[in-house]
Amino acid sequence: MCRSKEAREHFIFVPCAPPRRVARGVRHRAFLEACLQPSALAPVRAAAPAAAAAGAAPSARSLGAAVAGGAVWAAGAATLAGSLPGAAAAASMVKVAMMVPPPMATQPASRSGEENAQDTAVARREGGFMDTLFPGFSADTFIWRISVLQLVEYAGSVLLGNSYGVPKLCSLYLLGASWGPAIAGGAVWRLFLPMMLHANPLHIFFNIFFQLRIGCNMEKQFGRRKFCLLYLFCGFMGNLLSVVADPMKLAVGASTSGFGLLGVWAAEVMLTWELLGESQGRVFLWFAFMLGSCVMMSAISPSVDFMGHFGGALAGFLLAIMLADMQEEHRPEWYGKAKTSAKNATALIIGLSLLKAITLGPDGPIPHCGSMLHPLQLPF
């Protein structure tokens, strides 16, 4: 998520106060086989979340620092993933553990290794380049469609007003970028629309690559409706906590939702920790590295919206626990309590954050950027 704290010094503000408020499946065996297939892109799969998470939030003002930090983070993640060969198998077991298995009558019969290899080869030929780049890719998925919409939205922001292909701040504001005083004035759509907007070409490239890389198989796991709810809720909560932490910034980007997918992974690992066996240490190290990288990136580049990323990851973590549907024999003793706690925590966070952002939020200033039909032509 990109934030621009320099917005106040660039915008032209109107002196008046803003108006107030007016009124999931994939069959069990097939999915497990797909998850455990060896892939030459395994290092890239581990590096893509890190690269996207680091590169998902460059601002128009400090793009060089954010991109450089993203490259360092991606290299570290790829090195760590190469030294943890059991991490991929552990992650796939975690995902399957939370799925509701089909009835026994529909379970496929055991097959020979040669038959499985033939099916795999056919699937790869049918999927082509996109399935190799984004495992589980299908054009009939929510994650693909919203990625296309984000590309269209970016093109629209450039056409509305740009400087060397980078949307101007007023273009982003008119299209729904997050801005605390406007949200306090009732523009609650600015808690959703920022996930459709991006600050520059690298920003949108990293975000879309990451969400397609991890989201295609995750959508098959949860189903379209649940995955859609996860994606949108993570973006909403990330934007909300970002505004609560600092309302006087202009923020855009889908990385709030992208970090939410990482939060879903964290919830899966927690709920299935006893099923991981010898992979526990490897998985723990991976998450510790990711957490440390997030903190480091936020310290290196102040333009990274740390609170927006944290809010998205927290939303994915809590909502994944609430949506989890584990088999009864695999549930930990505290499974029910975890679900109840997640519901209570989510309600409390959302309620207090909305109170702070809307009722107690700042009334101004509001940038004067004209309208969609007649945008103000500013040099930035």
Give 2's strand partners. Answer: 252, 304
Task: Give me 26's structure tokens.
Answer: 């994939």
Give 304's strand partners. Answer: 2
92, 255, 301, 303: the catalytic one is 255
The whole-angstrom separation of Cα 48 and Cα 281 is 22
| Burial class of residue 197, CB neighbours in 10 A (0-12, 13-18, 19+) | buried
171, 298, 309, 353: the catalytic one is 309
- Is 330 catalytic? The answer is no
Residue pair 267/21 in contact by the 8 Å Cβ criterion: no
What's at 189, amino acid-wise? Answer: W
- Residue whose C-alpha is closest to residue 87's, from 350, 269, 300: 269
- Residue whose C-alpha is closest to residue 182's, from 224, 243, 135: 243
- Is 255 catalytic? The answer is yes
Sign of CA dihedral 194, 200, 201, 206: negative
- Residue whose C-alpha is closest to residue 336's, from 349, 350, 324, 319: 324
Give 162's strand partners. Answer: 167
Provide φ and ψ at 367, rounded to 5°: -70, 140
* Positions marked catalytic: 255, 309
